[in-house]
Each structure stands twice: as structure tokens, then as C-alpha cells.
Structure 1
Amino acid sequence: MKDNEHLDARRPIISIEEIKSILSDFKIGKKPLAKLLGWGETTIIRYIEGDIPTIEYSDKLRAIYDNPYYYYDILLKNQENLTNVAFKKSKKAVIEKLMNSKIHIITQYIINQMKEEVTMGEIQTLLYYMQGFSLAFNNEPLFEDEYYVTANNIPYLNLYESLKLRGINYLEIEEDLLSDNDKVLINSVLNGFSWYGMKLLNSMTSYERSLLRISRDKENHKIIAKETIKIFFKDIIMNYNISSLNEIFRYSDEKFHEFRKREAISI
């Protein structure tokens, strides 16, 4: 069907190249994708050969193209439409695409470990402490993303926008995406900080941010450089007598009592 009476020129129809990209990115064939979506077996083949999709079908394909999490949700819900081999192959591919940077892998690990009982704000704060203690103990960052200084205290803005799009949901990830050393550090921070609510965590990070020197990146955005965070956290482990990752809890525990005393005095 070269001409489509339902075609609305005001709405962009997904291109052949974009459809091919879906097939390539998610390691799924033309017929399996059509089956997964509950369409006729030759639907995707016809689109690749030049037929123009209806707006409804185009919108669905574009949603998949724009949002891998949307595809992953469809894949899980309709997996009975695929062979076991095709399902596993595509699932592996989409997870690899979703976990396209280490900060995303760590975030998913946090979500899984906390059984989805974590907010986007808590994730941002936990990542900051994980980065800080990694720099202090290992002299290297846990992930490459910069800490941006923003009015609403969202340092890892790209991640935040991604979570807004996909939500906080369990997602199975491969065990070897993180090293054993990474997991020890991450779990130590979770054990030390996840007990406390956002009130304490906000108080701690607001206080710490006031002590940290703000610099600029190449695009002139305000950041707190990794070297600045490293120096600050090395002082923390020295001042709070933290000699190993298993003792990270000492800092959060002492800060909890410190802020409780401040509140009691102010009352």
C-alpha cells in the first residue's frame, strides 16, 4: 500500500532507516517484530520494502525507536509471541542498550537491591556518596558523569531525565556488568545511607555542597569537579576514622546524631 488514506502530513511517519535501526538495535527479525507487536507477519517486511505505515503503527514503532524501555515492556508482556531463542536474544540486546553507561548500570543495581523502594532524589544522593567514597578509597571515579550544580539539587541531570521517562522499575541485569569491588563499595554506601530519609540526606548534601568549590566545565556549566570531591571525601575518611568500606556507616551515623542535636537546639 504505497498511498495511505490515513496518512496525516503533519505527523512524521517513521522512516525505513529508523525501522531498520529498531531491528538492528534490538536484535530482532522483521517477522518476529511483527509477531511481537501482534501485527500481520509480513507487516514489517512491507514497510521495509516501501509501504507506508498507518499513523497508529508508525506511532508505535516511533515510540519503540525513541524509548527502549517501552520496547522492553512490550517484549516482556508479549514474549509468548516469540520463540525462546528470539526472546532471549532480543532481551539481551535491549538491556545492553539500556545500560549504555556505568551510571545507568549502577542506578539499576541500586533499584534492584532496594526492591524499587527508592526515589529519584535518593538515587542522586546515593550516587554522589558512592562517587565520593570511590574517589577517596580507590583514587578513581566510580562513573564518569560530572556533578552539576543545579538549583533543585539534581547533580546527575541526564540520569534524572532518563528515570522520569522510564520510572523506577526492576530490570534484570547481567552480574558481570559491575565488578566485585564496585558491588562492595555500592553495597557499603547503601548499608550506610539508605536507612535515612531524604530530610537527613538533603541536610547533609546541602551542608557539604556549601563547603565544596564550584568550577566550570568546557560548556561553562557549574560543576563540582571530581578532584574537589576526592579531596573532600579523603578528609571525611580521615576525620571520621573510616579505614575500610565496611566502616562508611560511621559517617552517616555521626551526621545523623549531629543534625538531630542541631534540630533539638533550634527548637
Structure 2
Amino acid sequence: MWVFKKLYDIGKGPLALVLGFGEVTIKRYLDGQVPSLEYSNIMKKALLSPDYFYKKLEENKNKITPASYKKSQEAVSNLQELFVLSDKMRQVIAYLFKGLNEVTPLMLQKLLYLIQGTSYALYDHPIFIDVSQAWVHGPVYPDVYHLFKQFSFNPIDDDRFVLFEELENTLSEEECHVIDLVIHTYGLYSTKVLETITHTQDPWISARKGYEGIIPSHEPIIEENIRNYFQTLHKQYDFSQREGINRYIHNIIM
């Protein structure tokens, strides 16, 4: 029950009416009784899809109080922000959250960019379709920034990520290998060190031309530049192994 409450700000009674269950029936399920396959599928779909829950909410809004409807409607609107990101981006973020104890928004941005570069280096293609921009403090994926900006410099702790549970299991072995390499190398360093690393890299530097110092920029970082740059690094250091990436990091920060 706590999952529905956290995601949709809705109690047992209103939830039963919205999903089309009897209140006694859903109380049994929420208290641990195994639901029928039909009801189980409805509950699972409602948990994993804010759009589906919103459809049920609209269909049955006259069955609950206006106050309950408004609270739940606002909660659904907040959840739908998550789905601005591509499916693959959400999967990668879910994997990072599972593999690291704490991730701040700034750290997340750097790791996502380095994952993209490492994928180009090893397999000659990106993991996700999202395009980064050359902001003052390094590469930034704008939709990811807006999603987590409320956490500022603090670790991200977001109940909405219950929607991403098991998403990391949809990644390929190749994709997991890339992310694991980044987690166990770059992921060991502070955000400041990661910023220093990305500030030495040509794709970000090239995209920042004409924007000196702290002048804001939303120029895209050209994907072909990322591909060429990281493939050059791979030839020099061998990015298929942690040792190679660690040698590269050491040469940058020492």
C-alpha cells in the first residue's frame, strides 16, 4: 500500500474505487492475500504506468472525493516527468542507482556522459539517444537535469524510482559491461574530479567555443566528436579494462 500512497498520494478506499475493486477486496490484497491474475495485472499495470493509472482515475473520479482526486492527479503529473527521458536513459539511470550508494545530480550527469563515450569507444555506437549540452560545469543532459534539480548538491533520493525497479534487468550484457566499467572507475571519484576530467576532453571544449568562463551555453555536444574522441582514448589506453580507464584518469588528475 505504501507504494501506491507514495506514488499516487491515494488511500486504500479511493484506490479500490479508482481501480474498480471492492474496498474489502483490495484491503485483503494489500494486507498480503494473493490477488487473482486479473486483479494482479491491473495493480501491476497501475504501478508501472502513470498513464494507465491516470486513465483509471479519470474514468472513476466521480466515485471519490474532489480532494482525493486532486491530490492523486497532481501526483500523477509529477510522475509523468520521468517519461520525458528515453527508455534507455531511464534503464541506465536505474542501473547506476543500483550500483552506487549515493549519486548527486552533478555526478549523475558526468557518469551518463562517460558511459556514452565508453560505449562509443568499445562498440562504436551510443547506449541512449539523448543528446548532451556543453554547460559551464561540463556535459549535461537537460531533461535529466530538470528531473533532479531539486536535489541540488545532495544525493538523489526519489520515491518515484520505484517505477524503475527491475528496469536495469532489461539492459544487454554489452550495455551492463560499459556501465560497470564506468561505475568501478569514474564512479570512485568525486564530482569535482569528474568535472575536471570532462573539462579536459575535446568534445566539451569544442562545443564551448565562444562561451568563455562562466558564460552559459546550451550548445549540443556533437555525437560524432564524442565517438571519435573516445575511440582515440581507447586505442591509447584500452578502455575495455578497468586498468586502462584508471591509467587515463590518473594521467588527467595527477
The TM-score normalised by the length of structure 1 is: 0.60
Indicate yes or no: 2:184 matched with 1:191. Answer: yes
Cα gap change, 1:125 to 1:184, in 2 (>3 Å): same
Q: Give the distance between the partners of 1:45 and 1:251, measured in 2 at CA.
A: 52
Indicate yes or no: 2:117 matched with 1:121. Answer: no
Where is the helix percentage greater, Structure 1 or Structure 2?
Answer: 2
Q: Give the distance between the partners of 1:65 and 1:183, measured in 2 at CA.
A: 31
Matches within 5 A, 1:248-263: 248-257=245-254
Gaps of 5+ in 2: 1-17, 31-54, 209-217
Shift of 1:212: 4.0
* 1:224 counterpart SS class: coil
Match of 2:90 in 1: 104
RMSD: 3.8
Cα gap change, 1:54 to 1:128, in 2 (>3 Å): same
Q: Give the distance between the partners of 1:108 and 1:201, measured in 2 at CA.
A: 20
1:244 counterpart letter in structure 2: S
Matches within 5 A, 1:125-140: 125-140=110-125
Shift of 1:151: 3.6
Selected match of 2:142 from 142, 147, 157: 157
Q: Give the distance between the partners of 1:125 and 1:178, measured in 2 at CA.
A: 20
Shift of 1:165: 6.3
Q: Give the distance between the partners of 1:45 and 1:236, measured in 2 at CA.
A: 51
**Deviates further, 189-198 or 166-175:** 166-175
Count of residues in Structure 1 that have an aligned counterpart in Structure 2 = 193
* 1:200 counterpart SS class: helix
Indicate yes or no: 2:59 matched with 1:48. Answer: yes
Gaps of 5+ in 1: 1-27, 39-43, 71-94, 216-220, 258-267
* 2:70 counterpart SS class: helix
Match of 1:30 in 2: 20
Q: Give the distance between the partners of 1:232 and 1:184, measured in 2 at CA.
A: 20
Shift of 1:192: 1.1
| Alpha-carbon contact 1:99-1:105 (below 8 Å) kept | no
* 2:115 counterpart SS class: helix
Identity of aligned residues (%): 21
Shift of 1:250: 2.0
Higher relative contact order (CA 8 A, sep 6+): 2
**Deviates further, 122-131 or 152-161:** 152-161
Match of 2:229 in 1: 232
